[in-house]
Amino acid sequence: MTTSLKWFKSSYSSNDGPDCVEVAIATPDATVHVRDSKDKEGARLAFADRSWAAFVEACRV
């Protein structure tokens, strides 16, 4: 269940700025959960930790 996840946004985000995503990491499996910060009850995506790491690395390029 994902209700006890601790969500966080990028330090580059603001509360009244453009749309943003929030991320939470579930333990013990390290699944990364992603949601729209403007629709906290909406759809969520879940990624294996390796997949998320590959995505973040690709964004840095």
Tokens of 17: 């700025």
In angstroms and rounded to an integer, the radius of gyration of the C-alpha atoms of the chain is 12
pLDDT > 60? residue 1: no
For the chain, the domains span 1-61
- Sequence-ordered alpha helix ranges (H) in the chain: 49-60
**How far does the chain reach from its first CA to its final CA, in angstroms?**
34
Specify burial of residue 46 (Cβ count, 10 A radius: 0-12, 13-18, 19+): middle
Confidence of residue 40 (pLDDT cuts 50, 70, 90): confident
pLDDT > 80? residue 19: no
Supply angle C-alpha 1, 40, 4, rounded to 5: 30
